[in-house]
Amino acid sequence: MRGIAKGLGTRWFRLAGVLLFAGCQGDTDERATLSVYAASSLTEAFGELEASFERARPEVDVTVTFAGSQVLRIQIEEGAPADVFASANPEHLEALVDAGRVREGHVFASNELVVIVPLDNPAGIESFADLVGARRLVLGTPDVPVGRYAREALARADSAVRAGFQAAVLANLVSEEPNVRLARAKVELGEADAAIVYLTDAAGSDRIRSIPIPDEVNVQAAYLIGAVERPGRSEHADAWIELVLSAEGRAALERHGFVTE
| pLDDT averaged over every residue in the chain | 91
Q: How many CA atoms lie within 13 A of 93 on its CB side?
A: 25
State the CATH architecture for 31-110+223-255. Answer: 3-Layer(aba) Sandwich (3.40)
Residue 25 has pLDDT above 80, yes or no: no
Write the DSSP assignment of 80-144 as a string of letters.
---SEEEESSHHHHHHHHHTTSBS--EEEEEE-EEEEEETT-TT---SGGGGGG-SSEEEE-TTS
Mean of the pLDDT values across residues 50-72? 98
8 Å CB contact between 144 and 70: yes
**pLDDT at res. 55:** 98
How many Cβ atoms are within 10 Å of 23's Cβ, its own excluded?
10
**Topology annotation, domain 113-212:** D-Maltodextrin-Binding Protein; domain 2 (3.40.190)
Task: Report pTM.
Answer: 0.85
Which band of pLDDT confidence, cut at 50, 70 and 90, is reported for residue 204? very high
The pLDDT of residue 111 is above 80: yes
More confident residue, 121 or 15: 121
Alpha-helical segments (H) within the chain: 2-29, 43-56, 69-77, 90-98, 145-160, 165-170, 180-188, 199-203, 237-245, 247-255
Residue spans per domain, the chain: 31-110+223-255, 113-212
- Pair 164, 210: CB distance under 8 Å: no
CB 41 within 8 A of CB 70: no
For 64-107, the pLDDT digits (tens) are 999 999 999 999 999 999 999 999 999 999 999 999 999 999 99
Radius of gyration for the chain, computed over Cα atoms and rounded to the nearest angstrom: 24
Please check whether the two domains, 31-110+223-255 and 113-212, share a CATH topology. Answer: yes
Torsion sign over Cα 91, 95, 98, 102: negative
